Structure 1
Amino acid sequence: MNGTRGAIEIHLKELLEEAGLSKNKFCQRAELQRSQLNGYLNNTITRLDIDVLIRICDTLNCSISDLLEYKPN
């Protein structure tokens, strides 16, 4: 996500690799659509969905700070 004040970087790709999960298996476990997953993987999502973030963190057993990072301009 990008804006005039900074950006939120999503580290889902790295977390999936660490967990050794395929995209398909992760989508099944987190109950996500593939298009949702791709938006988070490609850092192109413009509005974060709290429910999706919870499902991602629950599925990967990680904290929100593992998943999201604020990068000031």
Structure 2
Amino acid sequence: MPVKCHLSALMGKHKMTIQDVHEKTKLNRNTISNLYHEKVTRIDFETIEKLCGLFGCTIAELFEYIPNEPDI
């Protein structure tokens, strides 16, 4: 997947669990878990806003675009 989610790193840095993020943001636990394990294919702007607000980060710190290698 060309987009990497850094939620797990941010949670580790802030010593938070999925439950902590759920309680502080009111986001669905499954949404947080899927982002943590990089299993999502789409995300709502509201979710991004809540996570960036919680961690005091930018979208670029939460997500990273990694282009695919061209086929040879």
Q: Same fold (TM over 0.5)?
A: yes
SS in 2 for 1:58: helix
- How much is the aligned-residue C-alpha RMSD, in angstroms? 0.8
What does residue range 1-73 of structure 1 map to in structure 2 within 5 Å?
2=1, 7-73=2-68
Larger Cα Rg: Structure 1 or Structure 2? 2
1:13-67 per-position Cα deviation (integer Å, ceiling 9, x unaligned): 0000001112211111011111000110111111121110100000111111110
The count of corresponding residues between Structure 1 and Structure 2 is: 68
8 Å contact from structure 2 (residues 18, 33) kept in 1: no
Runs of 4+ aligned residues of structure 1 deviating over 2 Å after TM superposition are none
TM-score (norm 1): 0.87
8 Å contact from structure 2 (residues 5, 63) kept in 1: yes
TM-score (norm 2): 0.88
Unaligned residue ranges in structure 1 (runs of 5+): none
